[in-house]
């Protein structure tokens, strides 16, 4: 389970880092801080559970992809979500690209699911949303998804941060590891 968990975390990080920011970045985005992106995710999740996409400022041409399938906003998890994440939540804000990744355990139809989420914001509106949903979680998986490790919420000190280019390289290496079925191709953090 540990390798699957780490690979899932790397996938969410890769989604955040390799999806480009909008080309027409003339108008500043509203969120510039971690807390703003966390509120956006929390508002989005609450809107999912309320089955009410009008609670989110979507752009007129916003796109939603759910488990790699283009989905109309208001369909998919928008119809089936039943409870927001409570204890297992990991936020991955990327103010440089105007997006945020998230991983959390929530409820769908009263059953636990693991949700990977990415939201892209431009000019104060969500222009892209992606849901990656793992259903039918077994007891062993759920045991590992009770509380996120504190290291995931810890800010990296300025002098210890890697260059964005290097981080993207690590994210891309995840796909090589998947393609060649070799976890050694993607660097993994030590077990905290």
Tell which wins on pLDDT, 190 or 100: 100
The predicted-structure confidence for 106-120, as pLDDT tens digits, reads as follows 999 999 999 999 999
The token pair at 20 is 């480009």
- Any idea which residue has 């703003």 for tokens? 36
What pTM did the predictor assign? 0.78
Q: List the chain domain ranges.
A: 28-154
As a whole number of angstroms, the distance between CA 124 and CA 53 comes to 15
Residues 6+ apart with CB under 8 A from 141: 1, 4, 114
Regarding the domain delimited by 28-154, which CATH topology (the fold level of the hierarchy) does it fall under? Nuclear Transport Factor 2; Chain: A, (3.10.450)
């Amino acid at each position: 389970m540990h390798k699957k968990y780490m690979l899932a975390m790397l996938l969410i990080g890769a989604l955040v880092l390799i999806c480009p920011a909008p080309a027409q970045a003339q108008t500043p985005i509203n969120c510039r801080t971690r807390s703003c992106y966390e509120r956006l995710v929390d508002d989005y999740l609450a809107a999912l559970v309320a089955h009410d996409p009008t609670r989110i400022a979507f752009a007129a041409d916003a796109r939603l992809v759910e488990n790699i399938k283009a989905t109309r906003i208001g369909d998919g998890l928008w119809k089936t979500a039943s409870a927001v994440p409570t204890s297992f939540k990991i936020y991955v804000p990327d103010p440089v690209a105007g997006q945020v990744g998230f991983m959390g355990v929530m409820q769908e139809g009263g059953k636990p699911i693991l949700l990977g989420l990415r939201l892209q914001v431009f000019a104060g509106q969500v222009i892209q949303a992606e849901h990656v949903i793992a259903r039918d979680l077994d007891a062993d998986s759920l045991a590992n998804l009770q509380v996120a490790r504190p290291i995931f919420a810890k800010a990296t000190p300025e002098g210890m941060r890697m260059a964005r280019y290097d981080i993207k390289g690590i994210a891309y290496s995840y796909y090589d590891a998947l393609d060649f079925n070799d976890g050694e191709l993607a660097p993994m953090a030590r077990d905290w």
